[in-house]
Amino acid sequence: LKISPCDLERMPQRYRAHFINSLTGFKSANLLGTISASGVTNLAMISSAFHLGADPALLGFICRPPSVPRHSLINLRETGFFTLNHCHETIFRQAHQTSARYPRTVSEFAATGLTEEYSDTHPAPYVAESRIKLGLKSLEEITIQRNETVLVIGEIVEVLLPEDTLGEDGHVHIELAESLCVSGLDHYHQTHSLGRLPYAKP
């Protein structure tokens, strides 16, 4: 089946959102944890976190156009720190539920029954139920003019993970921690390892 620019043009908005969101392939499933200056926590499911560099340890994620209220982004600007927490099978329904539009005074932790956890060394809330958790410092926002999305760049400053997932060479076996992936807007998947491949040489 071949979808042309005309076909794309004719797609109704919701259909198009499902279709285009499916095309890049599988995406990471993370809960973004933040806290406002006045101490209200926020939790938001994001599937756009991506690796940006190992040294310094950077990642990026995308926030929608500012016309949509983005409590996480407001909190980030107020406090400068956030967490990313991998989703696994036991919590993915609650994780998905954080995408509902709660008012800013409501914490998605309370609304979905997930538990706040704090490290002595990081101000933003972790998700206690999550197994692989990253503490990050917000470094920069880059506005992508073309569609008014915001790329947030964060530096990983602390990592909490189960000891048995950390391999000898530094590789983290996130499948052992039962981390999930997402396709499209709402489809969740477990993984099954096909193995690691050696460094490729010509």
Q: Binding residues for its own copies, how many (CB under 8 A)?
A: 106
- Determine if residue 23 is left, alpha or beta; phi over 0 gives left, psi from -120 to 50 gives alpha, anything else beta: alpha
The answer to whether 149 contacts its own copies (rule: CB under 8 A) is yes
d(CA 130, CA 90): 9
The answer to whether 146 contacts its own copies (rule: CB under 8 A) is yes
Between the CA of residue 168 and those of 57, 138, 164, 191, what are the distances in Å? Answer: 19, 30, 10, 22
d(CA 82, CA 138): 7
The answer to whether 17 contacts its own copies (rule: CB under 8 A) is yes
The answer to whether 68 contacts its own copies (rule: CB under 8 A) is no
Options 66, 69, 128, 186; binder of its own copies; rule CB under 8 A = 186
Options 10, 37, 66, 93; binder of its own copies; rule CB under 8 A = 93
Q: Give the position of tokens 């944890």.
A: 33
The answer to whether 10 contacts its own copies (rule: CB under 8 A) is no
Binding mask 71-90 for its own copies (x = CB under 8 A): -------------x-x--x-
The answer to whether 110 contacts its own copies (rule: CB under 8 A) is no
Q: Is 19 in contact with 7 (CB distance < 8 Å)?
A: no
Stretch 32-51 residues interacting with its own copies (CB under 8 A): 47-51
